[in-house]
Amino acid sequence: VAIKKINLYGVRKKELTVNELMIMKKNRNPNLVNYLDSYLVGERLWLVMEYMDGGTLGDVISETRMSEDEIAVVSRE
């Protein structure tokens, strides 16, 4: 598993974060990292997700030579 900690202190639109969480919780897709669980600890939201090898989307884009169209396709997925 992978755990992502999000500091909610000072986040102006906490509702958007909660909405995003609810969408993650309801949707499963073999092309996306799937949500497993979440915890609110003080002002921190802990997201428990399945672990995917290979780094972040930003890592892939910065370490791989891609055209703008290829980046758009990968980002859309």
Domain boundaries, the chain: 2-76
The rounded distance, in Å, linking the Cα atoms of 24 and 69 is 26
Pick 2-76's CATH classification: 3.50.50.60, 3.30.200.20, 3.40.50.300, 1.20.1250.20: 3.30.200.20
For residue 46, the model assigns a pLDDT of 93
The rounded distance, in Å, linking the Cα atoms of 34 and 29 is 7
Over the stretch 27-70, which tens digit does the pLDDT of each residue have? Answer: 888 877 889 999 999 888 999 999 888 777 778 778 888 788 88
Q: Which of the four pLDDT bands, split at 50, 70 and 90, describes residue 1?
A: very high
Over the stretch 10-30, which tens digit does the pLDDT of each residue have? Answer: 777 778 888 888 888 888 888
CA nearest neighbour of 37 among 27, 56, 24, 54: 24
For residue 48, the model assigns a pLDDT of 94
